[in-house]
Structure 1
Amino acid sequence: MNWDGKRVTVAGLGVSGIPAARVLRGLGAEVTVVNDGDDERARAQAAELEQLGVTVRLGDGATLPEGTELVVTAPGWRPDKPLFLAAEAAGVEIWGDVELAWRLRGPDAAPWLAVTGTNGKTTTVRMLASILEAAGLRAPAVGNIGVSLIDAVTGDETYDVLAVELSSYQLHWAPSVRAHSGAVLNLAPDHLDWHGSMEAYTAAKGRVYEGNRVACVYNTADEATEKLVREADVEEGCRAIGFTLATPGPSQLGVVDGLLVDRAFVENRHAQAQELAEVSDINPPAPHNIANALAAAALARAYGVPPTAVRDGLRAFRPDAHRIEHVLDTGGVSYIDDSKATNTHAAEASLAAYDPIVWIAGGLAKGAVFDELVAGAAGRLRGVVLMGADRALIREALTRHAPDVPVVDLERTDTGAMSAAVLHAARLARPGDTVLLAPACASMDMFVNYNKRGEAFADAVRALAAEHA
């Protein structure tokens, strides 16, 4: 595409908007950035872009600039914003940052191994990057993980392959992306306020399979992911590859006697299996994390990585903070921070990994219902401590499905409530128990983000341990 003089509107500053504006301006486009916010940080970012010749309009993200020929949007902007409705009415294309990155790739660009799903995306992509690097490949983790895809495809450094995390938002705005291989880890209701329906959310996730060349990786325990594979329009010869926590069948990766094994990328998959790693090589070896590792291994094997690299990459991998992170043990009780469990699906996986549990939960429910989650975990609950704006929804589910489980309902919603929650949890716990922060809710009612919530939990746990030292 000839960008010289093309009038492009970039919607949103931030991780994706700023690189998009810089790159497009460098290619000769006439760039206008529109942004809803007009705070001190936004003004500083605007000043830097204006020095490059970019026009920035702060506090006005709703109006389409006159003469716009293309809109490039940050992934979080909802499709029903007036800016996009105006663009669609005027016949102006709307691309996300991922779509722009795809279009800007050079002729010898690194292929993409793409991962999406309701939960586990970041962990799986980082595991995948670790495996690829163990194979001697230049393979960064990019995309929704916080590293701009635009920077990765337009920078001076060259890569062999990219491990790409894609959110449903990004996939919605990325119609032409065609990955080497893609994976949908799982599907559960999430971001329905953004997409409008579960059907639209699922369809967005399914775009990761479109045009795959080698493998579409799906979760055998989640029929919806396999259905998306069957519906995808892929290149001839592309294979459906399942992953399972059980013994794998042909064209699957799974677990046998504590080993991760491959019956997909072997010479005779009907009669042979290749050992890849031990379950103990995964940190931590919780069931949902084993599933993440299998998905990462499947994508890596699709790219031709040898078995030893899978083992070495998983051994080298260290999870990000606040993802089933062991804080410490005190008084015979283990304290686990899974603040990243911001929806019921993630909390369900976390609760399944421990027994017995004192569960700390609550926050912003985002329209979620908790009956299935509570019913499934009831038998493992020693007690529950509830906090946050929508805690009553969880309390009601506990009344219906776990009426005998002791519940502490914290009315206070200041950030200091976490210390009280940990103290109450410690009183409920017995030696051998796990106190688990897996809120099943978003954090913004009390904390800036899930990281701050997890940090508050860890600080409270350490303070508790210090008192009893």
Structure 2
Amino acid sequence: MRTRTTDLTHRDGPWAGLRVLVAGFGVSGQAAADALLQVDADVRVVDAKEPAPGSRGHELVEILGVLGARLDFGPGATTALPDDLDLVVTSPGWRPDQPLLAAAAEAGVPVWGEVELAWRMRPETGAAPWLTLTGTNGKTTTVQMLASILRAAGLRATSAGNVGTPILDAVLDPEPYDVIAVELSSFQLHWSHSLRPRASACLNIAPDHVDWHGSFEAYRDAKAKIYENTEVACVYAVDEPETMAMVEQAEVVEGCRAIGVTRGVPGLSMVGVVEDVLADRAFVEDRRTSAAELGTLADLAPPGTDPSAVAPHLLADALTAAALARAHGVPASAVRDGLRAFRPEPHRAALVATVDGVTFVDDSKATNPHAAAASLAAHESVVWIAGGLLKGADVDPLVEAHGARLRAAVLIGADRAQIAAALSRHAPDVPVIDIDATDTAGMDLAVDAAIGAARPGDVVLLAPAAASMDMFRDYGARGDAFVAAVARASGAGDGTSEEDR
């Protein structure tokens, strides 16, 4: 069915006068409203909450109003669909069953996310290709590795989407990018319909955000959209069969290849590891008899650490970034240089300190059991600090798989009893220390308890397997509290992690 949005395939299309409702005034909603006003659309913005005084959103309200936008805030603003709309652009966190979005679907009004809007606002010719990435865990690390590799190849590149720069800002940048590394969440993919990436990848898939999607199957299907319409290469994880099934079921551009990533020796059309060498048998002229060296494990290891101890999930992230870059034609030397230059974001398996033979690691970003499993797998003997909001996730498989690694478990947060029950079932010999303080001071108690339980050679690991909002503003604040608590309890430094310096 043709609508007024059918011909909106580039930024010079017939946007003027388009009647658009921007649902939600967070970062993505602010970028969408601004971009639409620039092309003379008729823009109305709604949000249940008014922007806080002093925030960027509060400053934008007056500016957007001067530019002609109508802004409506308050609980009643998001319940009824205005008449005579051509398009709704929704913030990614809004669920499809939200009354306004459900009404739009029933009325046949197209609903896009900011990512779909950004794709359709690219220039008609010469647009920067997108290399897209999703997965339950590891997305941000991988997409930033990818951006580092692209820049090492001499390309003007950035990471955007669910991380860093809003994708609309990247697309509309006055100085065009050569290529964009795009991280996409399941929410963003749900609201995207016409993306055509140069290359795409799904790192892994495990139950998450089931409360938003309604089922694991719906969550998986949203993730699978990453591969639709891919032009050159669909990159999948060899040890994650679900990702291969996604590739097999995707409608792609004719000639698009399936490229496997493995932490083992690569087969044909794969990127993997031979001894300590990252090897490409996918993007070489004679992949049956030869491979390209993309770097070594030493290129991934922090200075002064043992390359053989590179975490398995970090290796998988690097190989996926390398495969996406190679699909774009990046030389092998740039992969090596980009990986050497990469520095991870804070709170992602960050070394905090080593005191009296005990190592403290901040992986506060491990906000679900799948991420915590990868974190635990990197260490032999762990005092595990875990807990928070589980969001309906099942922790039994995590505890069953990694209980033997645990010296002790220190449990915090609202859903700690569920983790305690899993430990009782699957690791009954592991000492469990329950921290019943549910304010931020609970982290000091948790770190004190962990220090008391640890022995030389152990790792005190914050890998909560849960969201943070029961006790902290976000996972970053939780990680900062852990770093500061370690410093106070052990005299390990000034309370800043390696990555914060």
- Shorter-chain TM range is over 0.9
2:134 is matched with which residue?
116
Q: Is 2:247 the counterpart of 1:229?
A: yes
What is the CA distance between 1:464 and its match in structure 2? 1.7
Counterpart secondary structure, 2:67 = coil
Q: Is 2:49 the counterpart of 1:37?
A: yes
1:101 is matched with which residue?
118
5 Å matches for 1:284-433?
285-433=310-458
2:71 is matched with which residue?
56
Q: Which residue, out of 201, 205, 210, partners 1:183? A: 201
2:5 is matched with which residue?
none
What one-letter code is carried by the residue in structure 2 that aligns with 1:287? P
2:8 is matched with which residue?
none
Q: Is 2:231 the counterpart of 1:213?
A: yes
What is the CA distance between 1:28 and its match in structure 2? 0.8
Q: Deviations over 1:27-80 (max 9, x none)?
A: 111100011112534554422321221100101222212221100111111111
5 Å matches for 1:148-187?
148-187=166-205
CA contact (8 A) 1:131 1:312 kept: yes
Counterpart secondary structure, 2:353 = strand
User: 2: CA distance between counterparts of 1:169 and 1:293?
Assistant: 24
User: 2: CA distance between counterparts of 1:11 and 1:46?
Assistant: 14
1:76 is matched with which residue?
93
User: 2: CA distance between counterparts of 1:62 and 1:122?
Assistant: 34
Counterpart secondary structure, 1:368 = coil
What is the CA distance between 1:237 and its match in structure 2? 0.9
What is the CA distance between 1:283 and its match in structure 2? 4.3
5 Å matches for 1:18-33?
18-33=30-45
CA contact (8 A) 1:283 1:319 kept: no
What one-letter code is carried by the residue in structure 2 that aligns with 1:232? A
Q: Which runs of 5+ in 1 are unaligned?
A: none
Q: Is 2:268 the counterpart of 1:250?
A: yes
User: 2: CA distance between counterparts of 1:163 and 1:268?
Assistant: 28
2:218 is matched with which residue?
200
1:445 is matched with which residue?
470
CA contact (8 A) 2:135 2:223 kept: yes
Task: Note closer, same or farther for the CA distance 1:117–1:33 as it changes in structure 2 (3 Å cut).
Answer: same
Q: Is 2:105 the counterpart of 1:88?
A: yes
Q: Which moved more, 1:342-351 or 1:278-287?
A: 278-287
1:127 is matched with which residue?
145
CA contact (8 A) 1:34 1:56 kept: yes
Counterpart secondary structure, 2:157 = coil
What one-letter code is carried by the residue in structure 2 that aligns with 1:73? T
User: 2: CA distance between counterparts of 1:99 and 1:39?
Assistant: 25
Counterpart secondary structure, 1:122 = helix
User: 1: CA distance between counterparts of 2:351 and 2:380?
Assistant: 15
Q: Deviations over 1:340-360 (max 9, x none)?
A: 000000000000001110000
What is the CA distance between 1:281 and its match in structure 2? 1.1
CA contact (8 A) 2:204 2:240 kept: yes
User: 1: CA distance between counterparts of 2:493 and 2:299?
Assistant: 33
Q: Is 2:24 the counterpart of 1:12?
A: yes
Counterpart secondary structure, 1:51 = helix
Q: Which moved more, 1:443-452 or 1:200-209?
A: 200-209
CA contact (8 A) 2:355 2:492 kept: no
CA contact (8 A) 2:136 2:204 kept: yes
What one-letter code is carried by the residue in structure 2 that aligns with 1:77? W
Counterpart secondary structure, 1:140 = strand
User: 1: CA distance between counterparts of 2:81 and 2:364?
Assistant: 38
For normalisation by structure 2, the TM-score amounts to: 0.92
CA contact (8 A) 2:196 2:230 kept: yes
What is the CA distance between 1:197 and its match in structure 2? 1.0
Q: Which runs of 5+ in 2 are unaligned?
A: 1-12, 303-309, 495-501
Q: Which moved more, 1:454-463 or 1:261-270?
A: 261-270
CA contact (8 A) 1:283 1:318 kept: no
Q: Deviations over 1:52-109 (max 9, x none)?
A: 2110010122221222110011111111101111111211000000000000100210
Counterpart secondary structure, 1:253 = strand
Q: Is 2:284 the counterpart of 1:266?
A: yes
User: 1: CA distance between counterparts of 2:408 and 2:271?
Assistant: 37
What is the CA distance between 1:466 and its match in structure 2? 1.4
Counterpart secondary structure, 1:16 = helix
Q: State the percentage of identical aligned residues.
A: 57
Q: Is 2:256 the counterpart of 1:238?
A: yes
What is the CA distance between 1:256 and its match in structure 2? 1.4
User: 2: CA distance between counterparts of 1:300 and 1:43?
Assistant: 39
What one-letter code is carried by the residue in structure 1 that aligns with 2:98? K
What one-letter code is carried by the residue in structure 1 that aligns with 2:106? A
User: 2: CA distance between counterparts of 1:43 and 1:467?
Assistant: 40
User: 2: CA distance between counterparts of 1:178 and 1:213?
Assistant: 7
Count of aligned residue pairs for this structure pair: 469
What one-letter code is carried by the residue in structure 2 that aligns with 1:430? R
User: 1: CA distance between counterparts of 2:198 and 2:285?
Assistant: 21
For normalisation by structure 1, the TM-score amounts to: 0.98
User: 2: CA distance between counterparts of 1:216 and 1:467?
Assistant: 45
Q: Is 2:155 the counterpart of 1:137?
A: yes
